[in-house]
């Protein structure tokens, strides 16, 4: 069984209010955040997943309890400050934010303990995913550089899904595979626009800075992959969208699970694209039936980018 470690430094407790026509309101409480959604999808694809996180306060106790009910091994570090959370109201079919808190910045002692736990688990795993916090100020960017460098120095495969200073820092440490969205690249000033030409140029620059391979998601258009130096369009027939959130995280998880199982880069990208596409057809983030993802992956086309 492939093994994956997910660095999810500051998970959030998610509270969602929903109501179907003609029925009473429903309250859903789940662990959330980028790393949690990635870990959930990896587990759904058949990987043995260990999630490393720092939690604290009453919210942290609840988040830990619900995390432990999932098909994951959970390594938590008890932090001094509070865990993040959000409350969303989806009764009218849209996602309205009632209130949210990204979490307090991790203190030095908390970071040291979490770093040690993640390093130990990452050294045992086939692949490690470095996921980002809900807000950049919660976790210092330097932590990502150190983790990437230390795991890479011991021959471990590191995958990152980050943006901003955290992306720059993890590239300094070096990663085997980087997933990023075109919106993040444009916001960070790494791409001029969402054209094939601009995104291929950005992918090549990311590779020069320390990413072995790059996958750029592009909303409802074909993604861009740079695999072994070759620029490719990642195309999949569109599916009806229920909730677009979490597609990129599912994409990262699909890539990680295939690489952890010894698959090649093209198979990993196809599976990642399929996992991301299926996720948007569902309300649950980081979810999707394995057999559906396998079937969709067979329909993903990887073709050379003509304008590269």
pLDDT digits (tens, 9 = 90+) for 167-225: 999 999 999 999 999 999 999 999 999 999 999 999 999 999 999 999 999 877 889 99
The predicted structure's pLDDT at residue 283: 47
The predicted structure's pLDDT at residue 292: 83
> Across the beta sheet with 48-55, what order do the strands follow?
73-78, 48-55, 3-7, 127-131, 157-161, 175-181, 211-217, 223-227, 230-235, 301-304
Q: Which two tokens stand for residue 46?
A: 């058949």
Q: Which two tokens stand for residue 186?
A: 């444009």
Which parts of the chain have pLDDT scores under 50? Answer: 242-243, 282-287, 308
Please report the sign of the dihedral spanned by the C-alpha atoms of residue 242, residue 91, residue 63, residue 145: positive
The predicted structure's pLDDT at residue 227: 97
Q: Which helix (H) or strand (E) holds 97?
A: strand 96-101
How far from 307 is each of 117, 173, 231, 281, CA to CA, in Å?
A: 44, 30, 10, 31
What pTM was estimated for this model as a whole? Answer: 0.92
Q: What is the CATH number of domain 3-304?
A: 3.40.1190.20
The predicted structure's pLDDT at residue 285: 46
Q: Which two tokens stand for residue 236?
A: 């999949």
The predicted structure's pLDDT at residue 281: 55
The predicted structure's pLDDT at residue 279: 63
Domain boundaries, the chain: 3-304
Residue 229's CB is within 10 A of a number of other CB atoms, namely 8
């Amino acid at each position: 069984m492939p093994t994956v470690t997910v660095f999810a430094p500051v998970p959030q407790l998610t509270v969602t209010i929903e109501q179907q026509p003609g029925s009473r309101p429903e309250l859903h409480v789940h662990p959330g955040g980028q790393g949690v959604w990635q870990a959930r999808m990896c587990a759904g694809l058949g990987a043995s997943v260990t999630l490393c996180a720092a939690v604290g306060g009453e919210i942290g106790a609840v988040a830990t309890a619900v995390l432990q009910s999932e098909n994951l091994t959970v390594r938590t570090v008890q932090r001094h400050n509070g865990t993040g959370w959000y409350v969303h109201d989806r009764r009218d079919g849209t996602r309205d934010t009632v209130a949210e808190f990204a979490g307090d910045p991790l203190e030095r002692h908390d970071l040291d303990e979490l770093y040690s736990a993640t390093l130990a688990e990452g050294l045992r795993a086939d692949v490690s995913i470095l996921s980002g916090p809900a807000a950049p100020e919660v976790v210092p960017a330097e932590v990502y550089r150190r983790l990437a460098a230390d795991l890479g120095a011991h021959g471990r495969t590191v995958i990152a899904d980050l943006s901003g200073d955290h992306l720059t820092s993890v590239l300094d440490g070096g990663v085997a595979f980087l997933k990023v969205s075109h919106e993040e690249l444009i916001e960070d000033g790494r791409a001029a626009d969402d054209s094939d030409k601009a995104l291929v140029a950005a992918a090549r620059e990311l590779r020069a800075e320390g990413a072995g391979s790059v996958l750029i998601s592009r909303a409802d258009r074909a993604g861009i992959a740079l695999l072994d130096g070759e620029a490719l369009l990642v195309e999949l027939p569109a599916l009806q969208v229920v909730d677009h959130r979490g597609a990129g995280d599912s994409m990262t998880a699909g890539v990680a699970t295939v690489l952890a199982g010894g698959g090649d880069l093209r198979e990993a990208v196809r599976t990642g694209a399929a996992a991301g596409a299926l996720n948007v057809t569902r309300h649950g983030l980081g979810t999707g039936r394995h057999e559906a993802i396998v079937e969709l992956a067979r329909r993903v086309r990887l073709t050379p980018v003509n304008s590269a």
